[in-house]
Structure 1
């Protein structure tokens, strides 16, 4: 059995996925399949985006 290496995603990719989740055009399952990322990861990135969005206007 070979050990699976962890993937690292760029901040730009995370932002793109999180913005797609915020839009709400597609379900989490559809986004997960489209971007090849677990739905829980998308939810985490979406929450981080929403929490940090207030800092943009601060």
Structure 2
């Protein structure tokens, strides 16, 4: 039985970019990396749907700070009733 391989986000991005270049077919690239074509299609769809985040001004750090403030605000509201 084969062990399951885990690709890093960087590896996935590299492979998906190769698909987007269209120098080879999706099936050829899938065979080259020993990935099922359906999996590669899902990675491609996820990559495209999240592409806008690259240009987003809000980063993960900003989101973490927002969540921290919201949590603190909720706790303070509970204290004052």
TM-score, scaled relative to structure 2: 0.62
User: Which is helix-richer, 1 or 2?
Assistant: 2
Q: Is 1:5 equivalent to 2:3 in the alignment?
A: yes
Determine the structure 2 residue equivalent to 1:25: 23
1:1-58 CA distance string (max 9 Å, x none): xx54322111111111111111111111110111111111111111111111111112
Change (3 A) 1:10 1:51: same
RMSD: 1.2
Runs of 4+ in 1 over 4 A off after TM superposition: none
Determine the structure 1 residue equivalent to 2:38: 40
**Which protein has greater RCO, CA pairs closer than 8 Å, 6+ apart?**
1
TM-score, scaled relative to structure 1: 0.82
> Larger Cα Rg: Structure 1 or Structure 2?
2
The alignment of Structure 1 onto Structure 2 pairs a total of residues equal to 56
